[in-house]
Chains A and B, each alone.
Chain A
Amino acid sequence: MSAQSFMPLLGRAGFIFLALLTVVGIGVPTLNLFTTPGSLLHVPDYVVTLGGKYLCYALLALSVDLVWGYCGILSLGHGAFFALGGYAMGMYMMRQIGARGVYGNAELPDFMVFLNWKTLPWYWHGFEYFPFAILLVVLAPGVLAFVFGWFAFRSRVTGVYLSIITQAMTYALLLAFFRNDMGFGGNNGLTDFKDILGFPVQAAGTRAALFLLSALALGTCFIAARVIVNSKFGKIIIGIRDAESRTRFLGYRVEHFKLFIFVISAIMAGVAGALYVPQVGIINPSEFAPSNSIEAVIWAAFGGRGTLWGAALGAIVINAVKSYLTGALPNAWLFVLGGLAIVVTIYMPKGLAGLFAGWKTFPTMPKQAIDLGEAAE
């Protein structure tokens, strides 16, 4: 397909984003693997893992933006889908450790051995096979989103009510995964991974491959999301965002559209989680924390809601800022991050993507009456 036919689909900014992503996705691993350490062009190993982590966050932000920016569903529980994808991958990698754990038990992961479990719980079976794990990476968040969305959208739960119950969902999962009796490693979660598909996770080659895969996943999901929002289906989704009742009166089954986009978005978040885990080396219940989901929303809003590429960019920028400031200003970085959130909200209501239109000169006073949390309606 030529660049010309891509342009209308992606938009100019989207095209640049994708081009940059390609350059970074190929460039960083190449420069890491094929230049000697110390040379000017060399990308150090830890930049690769750090960058890979950012890319996973970017994919999470993109999935949030897909439902929030285009369908008006403010999910404060997307971290749950991310974490479920992560756990599915983590369980696969736990099984791959085999007898190399500290207790040398070929069947049971270490945490089960020291909690004195005798047999593998039934839901751990099958995770020794990579395809099964990948299936679960997609299915676990997908099914949860389907069940949750099916109930919620059918009952016409909208606005803040929906936001708060998505938060309740991720909080309930946090508490559940936190229980050691659940058999997911409790608060310590899953860690001490050795290899993935036979490649050692700490090898530079594996890291570079994971980075490339993360970039690929982000790019693919970006294109897929653009395809969705540019299709007729996408127009209806946007219609729902702007006037849900009118769309319903036009004869569309609003709940089906919402459900579809919610499930797609959850699966994207799950894939992001699955790629995240081998790169950071741990998955634990804190990924379910409501504050993580809220942060993902912040990334999307910071980058620019309803642009997809803006959300991804927002995730990368905020996390880069965080990485830098937690080292440079360990005692004051929260001031900077908090201040940034306020300034962006007031002066850059369209986020980084709004830089297209230039900075707003002065904040404007409210003109609309307050509605009850329905941003778009």
Chain B
Amino acid sequence: MTNRRGFLKSTVAFAALAGAALVPQYAFAEGETIKVGILHSLSGTMAISETTLKDVMLMLIEQQNAKGGLLGKKLEGVVVDPASNWPLFAEKARGLISGDKCAAVFGCWTSVSRKSVLPVFEELNSLLFYPVQYEGEESSKNVFYTGAAPNQQAIPAVDYLMNEGVKRWVLAGTDYVYPRTTNKILEAYLTLKGVAKEDIMINYTPFGHSDWQTIVSDVKKFGSAGKKTAVVSTINGDANVPFYKELGNQGVKATDIPVVAFSVGEEELAGLDTKPLVGHLAAWNYFMSIDTPSNAAFIKDWHAFTKKDARTTNDPMEAHYIGFNMWVAAVTKAGTTDSDAVQDAIIGVSVPNLTGGYAAMLPNHHITKPVFIGEIQADGQIDVVWQTTGLVAGDEWSDFLPGSKDLISDWRKPLHCGNFNVVTAKCGGAS
């Protein structure tokens, strides 16, 4: 009998635990608060980048509540930890939408995490605001892409370097979709601009690659063919620190071979001694160093909120700032948090960004952004050396890829299609 009792005990324990897992974690009555899901990894490999975004969302929610909330209701952030585990992202997204009944979710960093939650958001018809620069080639009814599309980051950066006399290109990236796609686009673009095949070197490395000796020395070799050479880096996250340390140690100076990076911002540089890196470039839509009153106020609020004066701000944080304000504006306009109503209301909404201009939500669910090219300084900040004269509209389907050049996305009625083919005039891709 003891055996059976033991078993029952463990069964009951299991049932209690499993039950607890399935019960929504907050039990406020509907109507008192509006819940906002925050889906960023707080542990695992991506915690390095994503934890900051969780904090900035909590700050924005707190500020909005201080302004009187939304539709007369208090906003409440629901934080979960998807732990850099892609299937867990989907599970947590489902929990936030169905379990916690969040009106909108702000989250994800990597492409694979977005791909993993995408079917969930489409199935449950909820809203996701995705704040990171990405490879494009996607436009979902339920996702709002507040980070840069390739044409808002990569192409202006290459244009800038061409003006600076660069003739030879190393496209170095981590082997995943964003670098692959960006490099495909850049390769097509460079070829179009008359760069010969042998003047382009493409290199892919795994995530978290830490031994860069061979690759940096190869880059040096490639760069000594007598033409001005630049590295376009789509190296992701963790691998950047050892990469830049190796560049510094092997004496690759920005005046010899400049490296322009699309995934390195103030946050990543805070983990590095930037003195040997002065002059290397970064292309983003926001820099902490940009001198505008709204940015100064944002940084001040951020320091007050985190109680640390040394905390940096970066581009994805601004994207969340814009995305959150757009959502607030759209909800206010629609008078409801209902997903369909917000989807209709948000297109065309325009809110101030932190760099002295406005960001507008386009019918393709991407936004308008200025593009800045900056050079890394000895203090870890990035100074703007060039910027686009106007705003650049996010282009979801690249014109430089054969599969997508005929596609457009327009979520306004009556078209209401994410992959409309302008040649065949049909919704649903190339066929």
Contact = CB atoms under 8 A, between A and B. Distances in A.
Is there a direct interface between A and B, measured as CB atoms under 8 Å apart in the complex? yes
B98 A46 contact: yes
A239 interface: no
Contacts of B197: none
Interface centre among A193, A282, A284, A356, by most B CB within 10 Å? A282
B27 to A, nearest CB: 12
Given A13-B3, A115-B184, A327 B175 contact: no
A36 interface: no
Interface centre among A44, A116, A316, A355 (most CB of B within 10 A): A355
Interface string B34-61: 0000000011000000000000000000
B6 A179 contact: no
Interface residues of A, number: 62
Given A50-B91, A286-B86, A321 B403 contact: no
Contacts of A47: 22
A327 B429 contact: no
Given A16-B7, A103-B403, 16 more contacts: A12-B3, A46-B98, A49-B94, A50-B91, A104-B428, A178-B175, A180-B204, A191-B118, A282-B112, A282-B115, A284-B112, A286-B86, A316-B18, A320-B21, A355-B7, A356-B6
A377 interface: no
A45 B98 contact: yes
Contacts of A189: 86, 112, 115
Interface of B: 2-4, 6-7, 9-11, 13-14, 17-18, 20-22, 25, 42-43, 79-83, 85-88, 90-92, 94-95, 98-99, 110-112, 115-116, 118-120, 123, 137-138, 175-177, 180-181, 184, 204, 206-207, 401-404, 407, 418-419, 421, 428-431
B81 A100 contact: no
12 contacts: A46-B99, A50-B22, A113-B403, A115-B180, A179-B175, A180-B180, A187-B110, A191-B116, A313-B14, A316-B18, A320-B14, A352-B13
Nearest to A106: B431
B10 A352 contact: yes
Contacts of A356: 2-3, 6-7
A244 to B, nearest CB: 30
A102 B419 contact: yes
The binding surface of chain A is classed by DSSP as: helix
A234 interface: no
Contacts of B116: 191, 280-282, 284
A105 B430 contact: yes
A356 to B, nearest CB: 4
A317 interface: yes
Contacts of A50: 21-22, 91, 94
Contact of B119 (A115, A187, A191, A313): A191
A357 interface: yes
B421 A104 contact: yes
